[in-house]
Structure formats: structure tokens, C-alpha cells
């Protein structure tokens, strides 16, 4: 049986560091509030005009490809996870294919927000296991800083998010004791609107009875993106933070236990849990619930904020670079976010 191994991993974060105190210039917030509620001290913001989600993904991909000992021309499939694509369409996968002068291979974009990278990894894993592809590039990248409301109105969302990218190269291995052991994908669309960016979109106020603020007086031809939307700041993400938090602290432990149990393991067997970096308080709650030690969980939200689809590959890459993940280690990746979607992956490094 073939297993997918991570043959190379890379990350990229922009140079520009934005501290909590820097945000005070734009909104009514404080370093104390942000650190106490989220654990975040600073985040990176991409260069406004020179960096995009794709360019950051490209930088992370170059490192992952080099570390896998191959060239961009060896990649035979791309899976690119992001919620902040360069264009509404086409996706970032083809832009990365062009930038790295790759062959005319397939490129798939995944739009599963915070669980996007684990979903993307799972898709790639299936193609490797069936023998269809030999070198799949999986990327998670986000440029949030370009689309957040930095006024006080948007502070519950804008203080959380940061920019960056991570990438891995998946390859097949005949060694059953290495690589991805299983992936677990879930969704519950019941609360889709409580963490969402409604516009631009084709909903045409369809869900307005749910009490979430959508555009009001759009006329024909203006439905997708109207002046009114912009005037009412409805072109920014919306989040009912406490509701998301409550669901996250249930679903994170659930999917981690599912992954462990399916493979005959328990929490104490884990060498490293890489939780999606949503909020340090969520990660600490999950750690406590599963009885994990500080050495068993990796967090870097303090430095980068929540980078959505990029957060897991960035954290995984950094943990590995710091020598905290070694060959043979049992590693669990777990994510929860908008949708809701949540996902887990268990692997032997």
C-alpha cells in the first residue's frame, strides 16, 4: 500500500511586522485586550502592491520543492487552499503554475477557509495513494490585510488575522510506517453565515431573514458588487466570535480523537499536535481537554496571528525547522473554521 509522505516543506511570511500597538492607530483596541483574548502579539502584513496570495504561495512552494530535492517541472499536480485569492476567478493554482513555469499540470483551488490546508492535503493524499501523481504541491496562503475593516466596527475580526503562506510536497512511499495515516473531513452548514464574507456573491439577499447584515438597495446589474455594499462596509468578513469559539472547542478535540482512535492511538502517543492557529485560548483549551503537555502542542499565533489556510503549514514548517518534529514522530494536524468545516490528519513524520 502506498502512503503519502511530506518530502519537502516551506513557509513564507512578509517582512512587515504589525504589532498590536500599531493597530491602535486605526481602531479602538489595546495590546492587553488582543493578547488576553487571542494570545496574538504581532502579525505580518504583505506589501500592498508587490505581494499577493499567489506570490507568497510561490515563495513557500520554492522552499518546499527544493527541500524535496526536485524542481518545479517535476510537480504533477497543484492543490492551492486560500480564502483570499488574487482574483475572484481564476484561482491561485494556475497563477502559481505560471509563476513557477510548471508543466501543463492540473491545478485545483480549495475554498475551505481555516480547514483548507487539511482538506487540500487530504485531496492530494488520495491522488498519491491511487498512484495517479508522484509529486503534488499543496499550498495554503492568505493575504488578509487587503480585505479587513480596520475601523473600530471591524475590530473583533481585523485584530486576529495575518498574512503568510506554507507549502508541502507530497510523494508516495511504500513504507507503511511513514506518511499520512488518515484524514478526516467534516462540515455542518447550519451556521454558514456566522463566519462569512457575504459579498461579492450571488446570494441576492436570500438569507437576509437570518438577521445578518447584507446589502439593501442593490439594483439590477449591481447585485454582485454595489455601491451600497461598500457604503455599508458589507464587503468585509463577518464573524460572531463567541459562537465560533464555542463550536471550535468541541470540534477540535472530537476530530483529533477520531484521527487517533482510527489508528489505535491515544493523546499521550502524540509527539506533536499542530492546531490551526485560530486563537491561543482555543488551542490551550484543546490541550487541556486532551491532557497534552506543552511539548506536545505547537503554537505560533503570537507572532503571525491567524493566517487561515496558511496557519497549519507555517506552524508545521516552523516546528520542524526548530527540531521539534523528528522522523518517526506521530503528528496530528487539526483545523476548524468557517462553514463550519473541520478536519484532522494523522501522520508519521
Interface with ligand UT7, residue 156, by CB under 6 A: yes
**Which one among 52, 84, 171, 306 touches ligand UT7, defined by CB under 6 A?**
306
Nearer to ligand UT7, 191 or 263 (CB): 191
Beta carbon of residue 42, minimum distance to ligand UT7 (angstroms, whole number):
14
Interface with ligand UT7, residue 286, by CB under 6 A: no
Q: Which of 20, 92, 114, 144 is catalytic?
A: 114
**Which one among 94, 114, 259, 346 touches ligand UT7, defined by CB under 6 A?**
114
Residue 215 has which C-alpha cell?
Answer: 446589502
Annotated catalytic residue 235: no
Interface with ligand UT7, residue 299, by CB under 6 A: no
Tell me which stretch binds ligand UT7 (CB under 6 A): 5-13, 85-93, 277-285, 321-329: 277-285
Nearer to ligand UT7, 244 or 256 (CB): 244
Interface with ligand UT7, residue 84, by CB under 6 A: no
Non-local (6+) Cβ contacts of 159 within 8 A are 20, 23, 27, 29, 34, 38, 40, 305
Nearer to ligand UT7, 229 or 248 (CB): 248
The full 3-state SS of the chain, as one line of letters, equals CCEEEEEEEEEECCCCEEEHHHHCCCCCCCHHHHHHHHCCCEEECCCCCCCCHHHHHHHHHHHHHHHCCCCHHHCCEEEEECCCCCCCCCCHHHHHHHHCCCCCCEEEEECCHHHHHHHHHHHHHHHHHCCCCCCEEEEEEECHHHCCCCCHHHHHHHCCECCEEEEEEEEEECCCCCEEEEEEEEECHHHHHHEECCCCCCCCCCCHHHCCCCCCCCCCCCCCCCHHHHHCCCCCCEECHHHHHHHHHHHHHHHHHHHHHHCCCCHHHCCEEEECCCCHHHHHHHHHHHCCCHHHECCCHHHHCECHHHHHHHHHHHHHHCCCCCCCCEEEEEEEECCCEEEEEEEEC
Residue 106's DSSP bridge partners are: 77
Interface with ligand UT7, residue 307, by CB under 6 A: no
**Which one among 58, 159, 196, 334 touches ligand UT7, defined by CB under 6 A?**
159
Interface with ligand UT7, residue 274, by CB under 6 A: no
Annotated catalytic residue 317: no
Interface with ligand UT7, residue 248, by CB under 6 A: yes
Interface with ligand UT7, residue 81, by CB under 6 A: no
Annotated catalytic residue 114: yes
Q: Which of 20, 135, 199, 306 is catalytic?
A: 306
Interface with ligand UT7, residue 196, by CB under 6 A: no
Interface with ligand UT7, residue 255, by CB under 6 A: no
**Which one among 241, 250, 263, 265 touches ligand UT7, defined by CB under 6 A?**
241
Interface with ligand UT7, residue 244, by CB under 6 A: yes
Beta carbon of residue 301, minimum distance to ligand UT7 (angstroms, whole number):
10
Interface with ligand UT7, residue 246, by CB under 6 A: no
Size of the site for ligand UT7 (CB under 6 A): 20
Residues in contact with ligand UT7 by CB under 6 A are: 29, 33-34, 37-38, 114, 155-156, 159, 195, 241-242, 244-245, 248, 278-279, 282, 306, 337
Which residues are catalytic, by number?
A: 114, 276, 306
Amino acid at each position: 500500500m502506498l502512503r503519502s509522505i511530506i518530502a519537502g516543506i516551506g513557509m513564507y511570511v512578509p517582512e512587515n511586522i504589525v504589532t498590536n500597538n500599531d493597530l491602535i492607530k486605526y481602531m479602538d483596541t489595546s495590546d492587553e485586550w488582543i493578547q488576553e483574548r487571542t494570545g496574538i502579539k504581532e502579525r505580518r502584513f504583505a506589501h500592498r502592491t508587490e505581494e499577493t496570495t499567489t506570490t507568497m504561495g510561490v515563495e513557500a512552494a520554492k522552499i518546499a520543492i527544493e527541500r524535496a530535492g526536485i524542481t518545479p517541472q517535476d510537480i504533477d499536480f497543484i492543490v492551492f487552499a486560500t480564502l483570499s485569492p488574487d482574483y475572484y476567478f481564476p484561482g491561485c493554482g494556475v497563477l502559481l503554475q505560471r509563476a513557477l513555469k510548471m508543466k501543463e499540470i492540473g491545478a485545483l483551488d480549495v475554498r475551505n477557509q481555516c480547514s483548507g490546508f487539511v482538506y487540500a492535503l487530504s485531496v492530494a493524499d488520495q491522488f498519491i495513494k491511487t498512484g495517479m501523481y508522484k509529486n503534488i504541491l499543496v499550498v495554503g496562503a492568505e493575504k488578509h490585510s487587503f480585505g479587513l475593516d480596520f475601523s473600530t466596527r471591524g475590530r473583533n475580526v481585523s485584530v486576529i488575522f495575518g498574512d503568510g503562506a506554507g507549502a508541502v510536497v507530497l510523494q508516495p512511499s511504500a513504507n507503511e510506517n511513514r506518511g499520512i495515516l488518515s484524514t478526516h473531513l467534516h462540515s455542518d452548514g447550519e451556521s454558514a453565515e456566522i463566519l462569512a464574507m457575504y459579498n461579492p456573491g450571488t446570494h441576492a439577499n436570500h438569507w437576509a431573514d437570518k438577521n445578518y447584515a447584507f446589502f439593501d438597495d442593490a439594483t439590477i446589474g449591481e447585485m454582485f458588487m454595489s455601491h451600497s455594499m461598500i457604503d455599508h462596509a458589507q464587503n468585509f468578513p463577518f464573524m460572531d466570535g463567541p459562537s465560533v469559539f464555542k463550536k471550535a472547542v468541541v470540534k477540535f478535540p472530537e476530530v483529533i480523537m477520531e484521527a487517533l482512535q482510527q489508528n489505535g492511538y491515544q493523546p499521550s502517543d502524540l509527539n506533536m499536535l499542530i492546531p490551526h492557529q485560530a486563537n491561543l485560548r482555543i488551542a490551550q483549551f484543546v490541550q487541556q481537554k486532551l491532557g497534552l503537555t506543552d511539548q506536545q502542542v505547537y503554537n505560533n499565533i503570537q507572532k503571525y496571528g491567524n493566517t487561515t489556510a496558511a496557519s497549519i503549514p507555517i506552524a508545521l514548517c516552523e516546528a520542524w525547522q526548530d527540531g521539534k518534529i523528528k522522523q518517526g514522530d506521530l503528528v496530528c494536524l487539526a483545523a476548524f473554521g468557517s462553514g463550519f468545516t473541520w478536519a484532522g490528519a494523522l501522520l508519521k513524520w
